[in-house]
Amino acid sequence: MPIDRRLLFYINWPLLGVAILLFLLGVLNLYSASGYRLEEGMSIAPYFNKQLIWGLMGMFSMIVFMFFDYRHLKTMAWPLFWTTVLLLLAVFFVGKTIYGAKRWLDLGFMNFQPSELAKIAVLIVGARILSKEREPLDFLRLAYVMGVGLILGGLIIKQPDLGSGLSVLMILGGMVLFRGVTPRVFKTALVCIPCLLPLSWFFLHDYQKQRIMTFLDPTKDPLGAGYHIIQSEIAIGSGGFWGKGFLEGTQSQLRFLPERHTDFAVAVFGEEWGFAGTMLLLSLFCFFLYQMVVIARDARGLFGSYLAAGVFFYFFWQILINTGMVLGLMPVVGIPLPFISYGGSATLVNFCLVGLVLNVSMRRFLFKQ
C-alpha cells in the first residue's frame, strides 16, 4: 500500500518526540541506577543494555503500529477480546508458574503474559463499545461495558495478579468517565464507592493489608516494609533543588534505595536531578499525556477518540500510582513508571500504544466530509 505523504505530515511529532525523549531519560537514569560505581561484575549493566535493545524493538513496533489504518481494529475488537479470554483461560491449564503465580504462557522462545494483551484488548473493545453510545451511560449500559472489563479483569485477578487486573478495570473505568454517565449513575457512584471501598479490605491478602498499614505509618516498621518508603523519600528529598548530579546519587549508588531500577527509578532521578530535574520530567509526562488529549479531541471519529482516551488512561494510572508511591503518597504497589522504569515487555507495549495513538493522529484529516 502506497503511503500517503500527508500521513507523515499529520503525525503528532511532539508526542513522538517526547516519548523518545522520556525513553532516553529513562535509559540515562537506568545507567546511573545500574551502579556504574560498583566494581566489575557487580553492576547491573546488563539491565541497561537490555533496556536499549527493548527500546529499539519498541520503536520499530511503534512504526508498525502507525502504518496500518487503526480503524480496522474496530472490526477486530471482538475477535481480539475472545482470543484474550481464551489465552487467559489457557493460563489456568497450561500456564507456567513463576514466583508462585500462574501468569505466563510458555511460547518456547519467550514467556508471554496474556494479561499484557488484555490491557490492549480492553481499550480496543472499550473504544468500540463506547463509540457507539450516543447518550451518557445509564446503569444498564454501564453494567454492559464494565461486564466486559470484569471478564478480563476477573480472570487476571484470579491468577493472581491484582495489579494487572485492576489496571484493566481502571483503563476501562477511565474511558467510561471520558464518555460520561447519566447524573443518576454519577450520584449513585459518588455515594456507593466510598462505602464499598472499606469492604474491599476483606478481600485483600495479608501482605496487601500490611502494605497499606505501612503506608499509613511507615515508621511503624522502619526496617521492614516501611524501609522502601523511607529510603525513597530520603533519596528524593536529599536531592534538594539542583540534585546531586548525574551518577552522584549516594542513596542509589550505595544501594540504600531498593528496587531502584524498576519501581523506584524515579527516586534515583529525583536524587540526582533535584527539584528542577524532577519538575522537568513531570512536565514532560504532562505534555505527553496532553498530546493524547489533543489526539482524542482531533480524531476523526469517536473510535479514534476513545482509543486515544484509553491509551491516555493506560499511561495516566501508571504515572499516578508509580510516582505517588515513590513520593510516599500511596501504598507501595509494584507498578512501573512508563519509559523510566526498567522492563522489556512494558517498554515494548508502551511504544506500541504510542504508535497506536500516532496512528489515530495521522489519520485525522482523512475522509473529510
Total number of residues binding other proteins (CB under 8 A)?
Answer: 64
- Quick note: the x/- pattern for other proteins over 272-311, rule CB under 8 A, is --xx--xx--xx--x--xx-xx--xx-xxxxx-x---x--
Q: Which residues contact 367 (CB under 8 A, 6 or more apart)?
A: 300
Q: Is 318 in the site for other proteins (CB under 8 A)?
A: no
Rule CB under 8 A: say whether 238 interacts with other proteins: yes
CB of 95 to other proteins, least distance (A): 27
Angle at alpha carbon of residue 162, lines to 158 and 167, rounded to 5° = 115
State in angstroms the smallest separation of the CB of 154 from other proteins.
Answer: 26
Residue 319: half-sphere exposure toward Cβ, Cα within 13 Å: 18
**Residue 251 C-beta-side C-alpha neighbours within 13 Å:** 28
Identify which of residues 203 and 241 has a Cβ nearer to other proteins in the complex: 241
**Angle, CA of 203, 205 and 206, to the nearest 5°:** 125
**Interaction between residue 359 and other proteins (CB under 8 A):** no
Determine whether 9 is exposed, middle or buried from the number of CB atoms within 10 Å of its CB (0-12, 13-18, 19+): exposed
Whole-number Å distance between alpha carbons of 7 and 10 = 5
Residue 354: what residue type?
Answer: V
Rounded to a whole number of angstroms, the minimum distance from the CB of residue 202 to other proteins is 28
- Among residue numbers 26 through 65, which ones bind other proteins (CB under 8 A)? 35, 37-38, 42
Q: Which residues of 146-173 are buried (b: 16+ CB within 10 A; e: fewer)?
A: bebbbbbbebbbebebbebbbbbbbbbb
The grid cell for 52 is 536499549
369 lies in the site for other proteins, by CB under 8 A: yes
Phi, psi of 324 (to 5 degrees): -60, -40
Contact with other proteins (CB under 8 A) among 57, 212, 234, 247: 234
Residue among 99 and 203 whose Cβ is closer to other proteins: 99
Q: Which of 318, 323, 341, 347 binds other proteins (CB under 8 A)?
A: 323
State the minimum distance, in angstroms, from the CB of residue 324 to other proteins: 8
Q: Name the site residues for other proteins (rule: CB under 8 A).
A: 35, 37-38, 42, 71-72, 74-75, 131-132, 177-180, 223, 227, 231, 233-241, 250-251, 254-256, 270-271, 274-275, 278-279, 282-283, 286, 289-290, 292-293, 296-297, 299-303, 305, 309, 312, 316, 319-320, 323-324, 327-329, 367, 369
